[in-house]
């Protein structure tokens, strides 16, 4: 029967024969692997939740007629990047509808400058969500790029120590060299074991994050377009001037009606 890989196999023998420098290198690789697997588990869970709840939110948003319907219903899609972007944009839109309204045919709308402010908030929210999705992935890229090189450093160092020992002992037999070489090669093996899972996870996560980010940008453009159609004052300039003149005329007439005294009555002798 074959012996277990780590109990009494080649890895255990090689680790026992490794030099102090090699064991320090292996320790550093194990710490990097611990961080790497922590990021892998955390990010996979985060991306799964983000994908799941984003699909639900976008499906719910597609059934609405007004851009603010979901906010008025107070429906929660916690974990969805698209929903977080929607919340930021809806809050900014409600602020301008409350603080800087433009009355149009009995309804409150916002001006073009206010709409530009809403679009800026949407862009900032999209960027913030993309950064949150990519957070921690630098650890995986470091494991992919640095793991094999750290292991190679330990291997080269161990081989150097082995050849130096052989030279001092004046014995070049395979029996004298094999333990030292085996102890040196384990550092490269551990480096590859750290880098290979990180590489597959990193490629998967980059593809998933790119898809979510593109979906987020598309939703931001769609949301802004629907806000513009439903809540932005897009009247032609001539109509705005006409309405402003009518409002000014009404104010003038109201002012004169309140402050101009009526003409004096004629004396009775002239009747």
Dihedral sign, CA of 53, 55, 58, 61?
negative
Instruction: Kindly compute the dihedral angle of the four CA atoms of residues 122, 125, 126, 132, in this order, to the nearest 10 degrees.
Output: 180
First to last CA, the chain: 135
* Segment 102-153, tens digit of pLDDT: 887 778 888 888 999 999 999 999 999 999 999 889 999 999 999 999 888 8
Structure tokens at 268: 């009775």
pTM: 0.74
User: Is position 168 within any domain?
Assistant: yes
pLDDT of residue 1: 41
Phi, psi at 116, each rounded to 5°: -65, -35
Q: Which residue has the tokens 């598309």?
A: 218
Tell me which H or E stretch contains 109. Answer: strand 107-109
List helix spans (H) across the chain.
10-17, 20-62, 69-73, 81-99, 112-134, 137-169, 174-231, 237-259
pLDDT of residue 161: 79
| pLDDT range class, residue 236, cuts 50, 70, 90 | low
Greater model confidence, 54 or 168: 54
* Segment 170-225, tens digit of pLDDT: 766 666 677 777 888 888 899 999 999 999 999 999 999 999 999 999 999 999 99
User: Is position 42 within any domain?
Assistant: yes
Decide: 122 and 217 in contact? Cβ < 8 Å: no
**Residues 184-194: b if buried by 16+ CB within 10 A, e if exposed:** bbbbbbbbebb
Tell me which H or E stretch contains 103. Answer: strand 102-104
Number of domains in the chain: 1
User: Is position 271 within any domain?
Assistant: no
User: Is position 175 within any domain?
Assistant: yes
pLDDT at 12 over 80: no
Q: Which domain holds residue 141?
A: 14-238
pLDDT of residue 271: 42
User: Is position 256 within any domain?
Assistant: no
Q: Residue 37: which of 122, 138, 179, 140 has the closest Cα?
A: 140
User: Is position 261 within any domain?
Assistant: no
Separation between Cα atoms, residue 213 and residue 127, nearest integer Å: 9
User: Is position 48 within any domain?
Assistant: yes
User: Is position 255 within any domain?
Assistant: no
Phi, psi at 7, each rounded to 5°: -80, -55
Q: Residue 148: which of 183, 197, 182, 181 has the closest Cα?
A: 197
């Amino acid at each position: 029967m074959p012996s277990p890989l780590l109990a009494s196999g080649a890895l255990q023998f090689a680790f026992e024969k490794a030099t102090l420098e090699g064991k320090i290198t292996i320790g550093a690789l194990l710490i990097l692997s611990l961080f790497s697997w922590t990021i892998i588990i955390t990010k996979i869970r985060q991306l799964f939740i983000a994908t799941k709840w984003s699909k639900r939110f976008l499906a719910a948003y597609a059934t609405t007629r007004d851009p603010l319907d979901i906010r008025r219903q107070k429906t929660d899609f916690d974990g969805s990047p698209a929903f977080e972007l929607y919340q930021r944009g809806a809050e900014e839109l409600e602020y301008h509808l409350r603080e800087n309204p433009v009355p149009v045919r009995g309804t409150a709308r916002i001006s073009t400058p206010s709409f530009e402010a809403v679009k800026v908030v949407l862009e900032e929210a999209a960027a913030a969500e993309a950064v949150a999705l990519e957070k921690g992935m630098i650890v995986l890229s470091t494991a992919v790029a640095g793991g094999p090189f750290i292991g190679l450093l330990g291997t080269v160092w161990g081989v150097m120590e082995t050849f130096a020992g052989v030279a001092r002992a004046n014995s070049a037999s395979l029996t004298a060299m094999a333990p030292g070489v085996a102890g040196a090669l384990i550092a490269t093996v551990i480096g590859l074991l750290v880098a290979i899972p990180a590489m597959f996870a990193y490629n998967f996560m980059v593809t998933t994050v790119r898809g979510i980010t593109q979906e987020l940008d598309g939703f931001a453009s769609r949301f802004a377009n629907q806000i513009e159609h439903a809540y932005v004052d897009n009247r032609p300039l001539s109509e705005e001037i006409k309405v402003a003149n009518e409002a000014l005329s009404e104010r003038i007439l109201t002012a004169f009606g309140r402050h101009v005294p009526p003409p004096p009555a004629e004396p009775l002798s002239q009747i």
